[in-house]
A and B are shown apart, each in its own frame.
Chain A
Amino acid sequence: MSRHRVSVAMTSAVHEQLRAHLLRSDNQEDVCLATYRPSTGATRRTAVLRKVVLPLAGEREVHGNASVTGEYVLRACAIAHERAEGLVLCHSHPHGRLWQTMSVPDRDAESSFANLAREITGLPLVGMTIAGQESIWSARHWDRGVGVGIDATDAENVRIVGDRFAVSWNDDLVPAPSRLATQRRSISCWGPSVHDDLVRRSVLVVGVGSVGLDVVLRLAATGVTRIGIMDFDAIEEGNLDRLIGVTTTDVWLRRTKIEIARRLVLETGTAQALDVQTWDHSICEPSGLSQALDFDLIICCVDRPWPRAVLNAAAYTDLIPVIDGGIAVDVFPDGNGMRNATWRSHVIRPGRPCMSCNGQLKLGAVAADIEGVLDDPRYVTGHSDPAGHEGGQNVALLSISAAAGLLTQYVSFNVAPGGMGDPGPLQYVLSTNTLERLRSTSRRHCPYEAAEGDGDSRRPLTGRHLAAERRRHETAGRHLTRGLRVARFIETVLWQTRLHLAVVADGHVGSASVDL
Chain B
Amino acid sequence: MPARSEGVEAFVEGLDRCCAAPRAKDGYVVYVIEPVEGRWAGEVVETAVEVGELVRWPLVPPHWIHLPGSIVFANTNSRPSSLAGWTQHSRQIAGWGSDAEPAAGWLAHVRSVIGEAR
Q: Give A contacts to B, CB under 8 Å.
A: 82-84, 309, 313, 356-357, 362-368, 370-371, 373, 378-379, 381-383, 386, 443-448, 459-461, 463
Beta-carbon contact of B61 and A364 below 8 Å: yes
Looking at the complex, which one of B63, B75, B96, B99 makes contact with A368 (CB distance below 8 Å)? B63
A370-B57 Cα distance, complex, nearest whole Å: 13
**Would you call A447 and B55 a contact (CB within 8 A)?**
no
7 A-B residue pairs with Cβ-Cβ distance under 8 Å, sorted by A, are A84-B1, A363-B97, A364-B63, A366-B56, A382-B77, A443-B98, A445-B98
Residues from chain B with Cβ under 8 Å of A357 in the complex = 97
Partner of A364, one of B6, B75, B77, B93: B93
Q: At the interface, yes or no: B59 with Cβ under 8 Å from chain A?
A: yes
Task: List, in ascending order, chain A residues with CB within 8 A of B99's CB.
Answer: 445
On chain B, the residues within 8 Å of A460 by CB distance are: 55-56
A367 in contact with B59 given A373-B90, A382-B90 (CB within 8 Å): no
Contact of A363 among B6, B61, B75 (CB under 8 A): B61
Q: Which residues of A contact B61 (CB under 8 A)?
A: 363-364, 366-367
Is there a chain A Cβ closer than 8 Å to B14's Cβ? Answer: no
Knowing A445-B99, A445-B100 are in contact, say whether A365-B92 is a contact too (CB < 8 A).
yes
Instruction: Determine whether the beta carbon of A444 is less than 8 Å from that of B90.
Output: no
B115 at the interface (CB under 8 A from A): no
Indicate whether B62 reaches chain A with its CB closer than 8 angstroms. yes
| Interchain CB contact (< 8 A) of B92 among A84, A364, A446 | A364
Q: Which residue, A367, A378, A445, has most C-beta atoms of chain B within 10 A?
A: A367
Q: Are A448 and B97 in contact (CB under 8 A)?
A: yes
CB–CB A447/B93 < 8 A: no
Across the interface, name the chain B residue whose C-beta is closest to A357: B97
In the bound assembly, the distance between CA atoms of A366 and B93 in angstroms comes to: 10
- B70-87 contacts to A, CB under 8 A, are 75-77
Main secondary structure of the interface of A (DSSP, over half): loop
The answer to whether the Cβ of B24 comes within 8 Å of any Cβ in the partner chain is: no
Docked CA distance A367–B98 (Å): 18
A313–B97 Cα gap in the complex (Å)?
A: 13
Partner of A356 from the list B53, B56, B62, B96 (CB cut-off 8 Å) is B96
B: which residues have CB within 8 A of A?
A: 1, 6-7, 53, 55-56, 58-64, 75-77, 90, 92-100, 102
Contact A382 B59 (CB under 8 A): no
Q: Is the CB of A368 within 8 A of B97?
A: no
- List, in ascending order, chain B residues with CB within 8 A of A362's CB: 92, 94, 96
Question: Is A363 in contact with B1, judged by CB distance below 8 angstroms?
Answer: no
Give the complex CA separation of A371 and B62 in angstroms. 11
The distance in angstroms between the C-alpha atoms of A357 and B98, with both chains bound, is 9
Q: What is the CA–CA distance of A365 and B100 in the complex, to the nearest angstrom? A: 20
In contact, B60 and A370 (Cβ under 8 angstroms): yes
Whether the Cβ atoms of B97 and A443 lie closer than 8 Å is: yes
B90 partner, pick from A82, A83, A368, beta carbons under 8 A: A368
Contact A447 B58 (CB under 8 A): yes
- Docked-complex contact B97 and A378, CB < 8 angstroms: no
Q: Which residues of B contact A448 (CB under 8 A)?
A: 59, 97
Give complex CA distance A84, B4 in Å. Answer: 11
**Most central of A364, A368, A371, A446 by chain B CB within 10 Å:** A364
Task: Return the contact of A366 from the options B6, B60, B102 (Cβ within 8 A).
Answer: B60
Q: Are B1 and A82 in contact (CB under 8 A)?
A: yes
Are A386 and B92 in contact, CB atoms less than 8 angstroms apart?
yes
Inter-chain contacts of B92 with A (CB < 8 A): 362, 364-365, 368, 383, 386
Q: Which of B7, B55, B96 has the most CB of A within 10 A?
A: B96
What is the CA–CA distance of A85 and B26 in the complex, to the nearest angstrom?
37
Residues of chain A lying within 8 A (CB to CB) of residue B76: 382
8 additional A-B residue pairs with CB within 8 Å, beyond A370-B60, A382-B90: A356-B96, A363-B61, A363-B97, A366-B61, A445-B100, A446-B97, A447-B58, A447-B59
Residue from B53, B90, B93 with most neighbouring chain A CB atoms (10 Å): B90
| Chain B, residue nearest A376 (CB) | B77
Chain B residue, CB-CB nearest to A378: B77
Q: Is the Cβ of A379 less than 8 Å from the Cβ of B1?
A: no
